[in-house]
Every structure is written in structure tokens, then in C-alpha cells.
Amino acid sequence: MDNQLYLSSSPHIHSGETTDKVMRLVIYALLPATLVSIYFFGLPALGVLLICTLGCVAFEALSCNLMKREQTIADGSAALTGILLALNLPPSSPWWISLLGAAIAILIGKQVYGGLGYNPFNPALVARVVLLISFPVQMTTWTAPAPLGSGVDAVTAATPLGEIKTAVMLTGKLPELATSGFGDYFLGNMAGSLGEVSALALLLGGLFLLYKKIISWHTPLSFIGTVIVVSGIFWLVDPAKYPNPLFHLITGGLILGAFFMATDMVSSPVTYKGMLIFGFGCGLLTVLIRLFGGYPEGVSFAILLMNAATPLIDRYCRPKIYGQVEQKA
């Protein structure tokens, strides 16, 4: 008769915090932002969310099947990638953009590298950037918010960041919107990607993750802090040409990026020191791209570029081990 006792190497207890629980909590943290986006952009937003999420899960299942890997959809990472992707797309994206995005995120962004844990770049951002470069028209057609029940039809509009970029290019001066309407921006009443709009909802989610210790404060703080400081310096130099730091903070994808994208564990550094450097790099690149780059928004590019630097950062941020300092040769 087989013995029913288990033997294993120590330790014999576990924190209970597993990969799927981590993923699930991040999904919960994104709920406020997804609900706000559905409120402001209505059914099209819901459609984008559903297609991206289901698409990612389906592609994950498919590729695991094809590559004869263990089925991994239950860990929730594919669903999370799908939600993050949706939050990075304009609400008016046609269905095929969402589906293609899901395929790129899972197949090219993740599975070709070996699946969860091995992808060097954030899969959702890979998909967003590929789509942005390949389909600039669809990816930069934004709609003004038309809150549920308001009876307003969706009309095409520009994002605040897009508008100031155009205005500064044409006139060399900031338009009026760069200095007013902050309350609306904060709540999410502006044009933009699904998840870029409501700083409030994203902050709620981010704070939840910090409270639950799923993410540490290092990356978001250094990312956002750097953006505020660097954009603040430009603003002080020429307030007529450069928007103030608060504008940078609550328009565009900074909060989403800082709390949910740059903190993606797989593609960011593993040490606290590394996270601070990573966040600083993201912040600096974001401001530079926003102010001087060809695109109005730079969060995605900044994070992807820093993803590429992650192995290097990890290499230089190896912790100093106990007892090594005093070693005498």
C-alpha cells in the first residue's frame, strides 16, 4: 500500500499569496477604472474590454495547446493583459483592432518568449505600440466622453495632450485647456484611451495594490515624481510653452502606466533600488517624448524602453549580501 504521508524540503508553510491571487487582485484594482471608462464611453468601451480580455484568454489557451505547454489561463495573467490592453486602446477602436491587439500581446508579446515570466516587455504595451505604429488613424481617433444616459452622441475629439501638441506646434503657445478644466480631467471627463481618463479611479486602484502589498511604492513614486520634477522645471522656464506638472499628471496615461504598467513584475527590475532607477527612467523619457517627441503621449514608449533596460538595471542593483563587507582576503 502506498504511504499517504508527504515529504518535502522545508519550509512547510506558505504565505498563501500565489501568482493567480496576485493577478486577481490587480484585476480587482482595475475595476474602478474599467467601470468609469464604461460610464463615460458607453457600449463601445464595453465591447473593446470584452474583445481584448476574451481574445487574450483565447489566444493564451490556443498557444498553450499548440506548443504543448501546460494550460495557463487559470492563472489570470492573460485576462489581466487583456484588460490592460483594452485600457490602452481608444474607445472607438474597431473590433478587429482589439482582436489583433490581443493576438499580438499574447503571441508576440508573451508566448514566443516562453510564456508567463519570460517576456522581456510588457505584453499589453507591445500590442499597443505595434497597433499605434501600424494603424495610426484608428489608434488616434478619440471620442469625447458621452456619459451613459446623457443622450449625447459620441463625437470625435482630441485628447488634451494631443491638443496641446498640435497647438504648440502651430502657434508655439499653449492653448487654454492646458491651464483649466483640471477637475474634469481628474474625474475622467476627457477624451483618451479607456484607462487613461480617470486619474481618480486609477489612483483608487493603485492605492489598493499598495495597501495589499502587491506592488511596492518605489516604481510609481519615482515615475510620477520624476515626471512632476522634470516637467516642473520646463514649466518654470517657460510657462507659456510648457504645460504645468499637474496637467502632465492627470491627463494621458501616466497614472495607469505608473501604477499598473511599469509595475508589471515580469518586465521590471526585481530590487527596490532597481525599481527607483526604472521609475526615474520611465518618468524622464515620458516627459521628453511628450514635450519634444513626435507623439503626444510617451508613457508606453518610455516603459517599453525601460523594460529593455531591466536586465542591465538588475545587474547593477544586486543587493550587497550579508557578511560580504567585512570579508578579509
Partner 1 sequence: MSLKTFAGGLHPPDSKSATAHKPIEACPLPEELIIPAAQHIGAPADICVAVGDQVKKGQVIATAKGFVSVPIHASTSGEVIAVEPRPHPLGRPLPAVVIKPDGEDAWDEALEQHDPAQLVGEELKQLVLAAGIVGMGGATFPAHVKLSPPEEKPIDTLILNGVECEPFLTADHRLMLEESTRVIDGINILRKILGIERAVIGIEANKPDAIEKMTAECAPHNIEVQALEVKYPQGAEKQLIDAVTGRQVPSGGLPMDCGVVVQNVGTAAAISDAVRLGRPLVERVATVTGPGIKEPKNLKIVIGTPLSHMVEFCGGLEGEPGKIIMGGPMMGQTQLSLEVPAIRGTSGLLLFRKGDFSTRPAGPCIRCGRCISVCPIHLQPTTIATYARLNLVDEAESNNALDCIECGCCTYICPATLPLVQSIRHIKGGIMAKRRKS
Partner 2 sequence: MLTAILCLGGIGLIAAATLGVAAKKFAVEVDPREAAVLEALPGANCGACGEPGCSGYAKGVADGRLAPNLCTPGGSATIEAIAAILGIEAVAAEPRVAVVLCQGDNEKATEKYRYLGMADCNAAQKLADGPKTCPGGCLGLGSCAAACPFDAIEMTASGLAVINRDKCTGCEKCVSVCPRQVIVMAPKASTTHVLCNSRDKGAQVRKYCQVGCIGCNICKKTVPEAYQIESFLARVEYEQDENAAAAIEKCPMKCIHDFSTGYPEGSRLGSKKAASGENAAA
What stretch of H or E contains 131? helix 123-134
* From 4, 149, 170, 172, residue interacting with partner 1 (rule: CB under 8 A): 4
- Residue 13 contacts partner 2 per CB under 8 A: no
Indicate the residue among 26 and 99 with the shorter CB distance to partner 1: 26
- Nearer to partner 2 among residue 4 and residue 324 (C-beta): 4
Q: Cβ 216 to partner 1, closest distance in Å?
A: 8
Q: Following DSSP, what letter does each residue of 26-80 receive, concatenated?
A: HHHHHHHHHHHHHHHHHHHHHHHHHHHHHHHHHHHHHHHHHTTPPP-GGGSHHHH
302/323 Cα distance (integer angstroms): 37
Q: Choose the contact partner of 71 out of partner 2, partner 1, none; CB within 5 to 8 A by kind.
A: none
The answer to whether 4 contacts partner 2 (rule: CB under 8 A) is: yes
Q: Which stretch binds partner 1 (CB under 8 A): 17-25, 101-109, 124-132, 242-250?
A: 17-25
Q: How far is the CB of 4 from partner 2 (least distance, A)?
A: 7
Q: Which is nearer to partner 2, 8 or 327 (CB)?
A: 8
CA distance 78 to 82: 6
CA distance 86 to 118: 22
Q: Which entry of partner 2, partner 1, none binds 328, CB below 5 to 8 A by partner kind?
A: partner 1
* Residues numbered 95-114 forming contacts with partner 1, rule: CB under 8 A: 114
Q: Which residue has the cell 459620441?
A: 154
Q: Which position among 112, 117, 179, 233 is part of the footprint of partner 1 (CB under 8 A)? A: 117
Distance CA 114, CA 122 (A): 14
Is 26 or 127 the residue whose CB approaches partner 1 more closely?
26
Least Cα distance to 89 among 149, 122, 135 occurs for 135
Among 118, 133, 147, 150, binds partner 1 (CB under 8 A): 118
Residues 6+ apart with CB under 8 A from 6: none
Position 8 contacts partner 2 (CB under 8 A):
yes
The least CB distance from residue 68 to partner 2, in Å, is 13
The kind and range of the H/E element at 81 are helix 77-87
Cell of 163: 491638443
Stretch that binds partner 2, among 6-14, 79-87, 149-157, 251-259 (CB under 8 A): 6-14
Size of the site for partner 1 (CB under 8 A): 47
Stretch that binds partner 2, among 1-9, 48-56, 152-160, 169-177 (CB under 8 A): 1-9
Which of left, alpha, beta for 192 (phi over 0: left; psi -120 to 50: alpha)? left
**What phi and psi, each to the nearest 5 degrees, are found at residue 317?**
-115, 25
Nearer to partner 2, 9 or 15 (CB): 9
Q: Is 73 exposed, middle or buried (0-12, 13-18, 19+ CB in 10 A)?
A: middle
Say how far residue 97 (Cα) sits from the centre of its chain.
18
**Residue 225: alpha-carbon gap to chain centroid:** 17
Does the footprint of partner 1 cover residue 13 (CB under 8 A)? yes
Binding site for partner 2 (CB under 8 A): 1-9
Binding site for partner 1 (CB under 8 A): 3-19, 21-22, 72, 75, 77, 114-118, 216, 265-272, 318-328
